[in-house]
Structure 1
Amino acid sequence: MGLVEAIKRAGVSKQFLPLISIAIGIAIGVVYLTEFDLKQGVLVGTILGLSASGLYSGTKNTMEREDK
């Protein structure tokens, strides 16, 4: 989530953030979590990326509702 937020603040369009989140998740999954097992790393990384994207979106929506 933090990496995607930093990328967003760098000026990347919001429409690309979910894809960036998944790509970062896959990279972390392959390199760090599964020690270069490609199939398992892609699966775990996709889940990580989607989870981070959903968590960010859910938190953002919750915060917006509180402000109104």
Structure 2
Amino acid sequence: MFEPYNVAIVPLIVGIVQLLKIYGLPAKFSPLAAILIGLVFGVFLLADNIKEGIIIGLMFGLSASGLYSGGKNLMENGNRDSK
């Protein structure tokens, strides 16, 4: 069952994707990797049934990819503004 403290999985997914990128995952595939990892967490660890797991996993994976891209854009815009 989904609990509010499970949201801590989102930064964990971001960290796993960063590790995959260090080990050779092309950056263009990082959103897909985040969604797939989210699905794994949702289906196998968090939900009691497959449908709920898919929805929760997609929510976590999409949140993680948005968190990563938002942080990346913030850093790029911050560097551009300081010049």
| Counterpart residue number, 2:31 | 18
Would you identify which runs of 4 or more consecutive aligned residues in structure 1 move more than 3 Å? none
Unaligned runs of 5+ in 1: none
Task: Please report how far the alpha carbon of residue 42 of structure 1 lies from its aligned counterpart in structure 2 after TM superposition.
Answer: 0.6
Unaligned runs of 5+ in 2: 1-13
What is the TM-score of this pair, normalised by structure 2? Answer: 0.76
Alignment of 1:28-67 (within 5 A): 28-35=41-48, 37-67=49-79
Q: Which amino acid aligns with 1:49?
A: G
Task: Please report how far the alpha carbon of residue 32 of structure 1 lies from its aligned counterpart in structure 2 after TM superposition.
Answer: 1.3
Higher CA-based Rg = 2
What is the TM-score of this pair, normalised by structure 1? Answer: 0.91
Q: In angstroms, what is the RMSD of aligned CA positions?
A: 0.9
Alignment length, in residue pairs?
A: 67
Query: Equivalents in 1 of 2:53, 2:16: separation in Å?
Result: 19
